Chain A
């Protein structure tokens, strides 16, 4: 690394550029013990790769989706007896179905494991209504509370399009 003062820049800039292009870094000292660095393209790319990847993922998926996919990965790692009371590992088939759903569903839920070997998805809309789906291996228990407190239960087969339609309807009602 080349350490320099700002007053040196004018006279040395051209030669530093040549050195920086070959991997050198120039550290230029400024008032108040602050520094400016002259770095090459390779160094810049290395420093910004992670940030650019995160920005790209955020652009593709949106923040909630990333949060949910991370949460799902955490849930996937839970082993048998994760609640110290005999809860089983959440079945891989449920994780797989929900992961696929999360990739395409417009309104992201909040996700929770249950000690009934299931995943619970929850949505709350702006009217104070509540929608819950308990995803089991062979079915989905749907529970809704409307803005007047009325409750509705149903059980459906896991079908991605049917789940999405229910969620869309839930949010459409709040408009």
Chain B
């Protein structure tokens, strides 16, 4: 697995513990862009050729709560940068950054990702 990411690569993020997540649904049924704001950077797991079921199973070993999915193309569309940053825990670990030199996503980028996000059941 290398950079750059292909546009069609899926990126998965465990958003919040189940007791917290209901706070992030908007009245119109969308997820608030607040879900994508994290001062520590937006960690995701890249699909890396795996089936969604496998990815979800792997993530459930470490995360509780809801998992949402965006495409690398969604990040490119709002000029966010996807960085492949494998860790000891996961060779699939990546981060979505606001730019080459900026970790935090802008409000516009968060809004774009929230609109593009798909909730995985």
Contacts and interface: CB of A to CB of B under 8 A. Distances in A.
Contacts of A117: 39
Contacts of B27: 110
Contact of B32 (A75, A82, A112, A115): A112
A153 B107 contact: yes
Q: Main secondary structure on chain B at its contact with chain A?
A: loop
B20 A143 contact: no
Interface residues of B, number: 24
A115 B33 contact: no
Interface size, A (range): 20 to 34
A68 to B, nearest CB: 12
Interface stretch (A18-26, A38-46, A83-91, A158-166): A83-91
B69 interface: no
B38 A87 contact: yes
B107 A141 contact: yes
B23 A113 contact: yes
Interface in A75-107: 75, 78, 82-87
Contacts of B33: 120, 132
Contacts of A83: 16-17, 20, 38
Contact of A85 (B24, B26, B43): B43
Nearest to B38: A115
Q: Main secondary structure on chain A at its contact with chain B?
A: strand
B37 interface: yes
A87 B40 CA distance: 8
Given A83-B17, A117-B39, A112 B24 contact: yes
B120 interface: no
Given A83-B20, A84-B17, A114 B107 contact: no
Contact of A124 (B23, B28, B106, B107): B28
Interface string B72-114: 0000000000000000000000000000000010111001000
B39 A116 contact: yes
B42 to A, nearest CB: 9
Given A130-B111, A132-B107, A112 B38 contact: no
Interface in B34-90: 34, 37-40, 43, 63-65
Interface string A25-59: 00000000000000000000000000000000000
Interface of A: 71, 74-75, 78, 82-87, 110, 112-118, 120, 122, 124, 130, 132, 134, 141, 143, 145, 151, 153
7 contacts: A110-B26, A110-B32, A114-B38, A118-B37, A120-B37, A151-B108, A153-B108
